[in-house]
Amino acid sequence: MKRILENIIENNRKWTKEGELASYIPELTRADKDALGICVTTLDGDEFYAGDYKTKFTIQSVSKVITLMLAILDNGKDYVFSKVGMEPTESAFNSIINLETNTLRKPLNPMINAGAITIVSLLSGENSDDKFNRILKFTRKITGNDSLNINEQVYSSEKATGNRNRALAHFMKSLDIIEGDVEEILDVYFKQCSIEVTCTDIARIGAMLANDGVLPWNNERVISREATRLVKTIMVTCGMYDASGKFAVHIGIPAKSGVGGGIMAAVPRRMGIGVVGPALDEKGNSIGGIKVLEELSRELDLSIF
């Protein structure tokens, strides 16, 4: 396995020259554009790495999977999906127009920003600190990494510049889609996006999902099998934003990307995969990360279809 991963990284290094770092969050331009790394976590808990797998990056939208799981644990799936839809989108992840024009009268799905901000409003907790601490605690549990924390510079940068997310949140407040204090909800959202990880951390989240909700390294169940099925389905249809269809056709693995350059993937009953490559395409997905997953899927026949 290690040899396969090393070959795939070398074959695809050229792609890091394409695309751009996310710059709408200024601090993200400090990422290493040339980095490309992968970690695979099997359902026996074995781990294989290649390339720049030690590169740290902020989790960004991969966190939307984590908060969706937590919201389902807190409220049950029926209540969660009364507040957000489960339909894919052809608009960008931070689209404003889509929120007013879609016929659901709520965010289309929990993987776009409007949906993820709504999900935060559903989480249990006395206040925003309490809510974020629950997210961090759950993230530490499903990565098996007690030292995870936020990158303060990225958090401050996004909080200072996140006016598009503010617009989405205030608009949803005006429609009574979200309840509570808008700035407090956004603060939790900005913090969850700023959790700093490596591809090993996200590979482990993928392995837990691939293993139907049980942590491979200690056999602890953290979420029901039914909930993981739902989450993996939403990852297939919405996880790569408005490129989810193409990704399903070419790669065929439930996955979630983030503008920090990470992609978390869960191959049911086989493995979790974490990749990092901060250079992004115009949809906000890692170019090198997609290429690496494409070759790995072909090589090991990982498509679920």
Residues at the contact surface with ligand GLN, assessed by CB under 6 A? 60-61, 93-94, 113, 158, 165, 193, 258-259, 284
Q: How far apart are CA 126 and CA 190, in angstroms?
A: 18
The sheet with strand 57-58 has its strands ordered as: 57-58, 195-197, 149-150
Which residue shows structure tokens 């070959």? Answer: 7
Catalytic residue set: 61, 64, 189, 241, 259
Determine phi and psi for 255, rounding to 5 degrees.
-150, 160
Question: Closer CB to ligand GLN, residue 211 or residue 244?
Answer: 244
Q: What amino acid is encoded at 72 in this protein?
A: I
Strands 255-257 and 195-197 turn out to be unpaired
Question: Closer CB to ligand GLN, residue 94 or residue 228?
Answer: 94
Residue nearest to ligand GLN (CB): 61
Q: How far apart are CA 189 and CA 113, in angstroms?
A: 9
Which tokens go with 152? 């303060």
Question: Closer CB to ligand GLN, residue 113 or residue 297?
Answer: 113
Question: Closer CB to ligand GLN, residue 80 or residue 280?
Answer: 280
Question: Closer CB to ligand GLN, residue 42 or residue 109?
Answer: 109
Tell me how far, at minimum, the Cβ of 134 lies from ligand GLN, in Å: 19
160 secondary structure, DSSP code:
H
- The angle, 0 to 180 degrees and rounded to 10, between the axes of the packed helices 63-75 and 128-143 is 110
Cβ pair 197, 39 in contact under 8 A: no
The sheet with strand 37-42 has its strands ordered as: 47-51, 37-42, 271-276, 262-267, 255-257
Of 178, 195, 182, give the one whose Cα is nearest residue 132.
Answer: 195
Tell me how far, at minimum, the Cβ of 264 lies from ligand GLN, in Å: 12
Tell me how far, at minimum, the Cβ of 231 lies from ligand GLN, in Å: 17
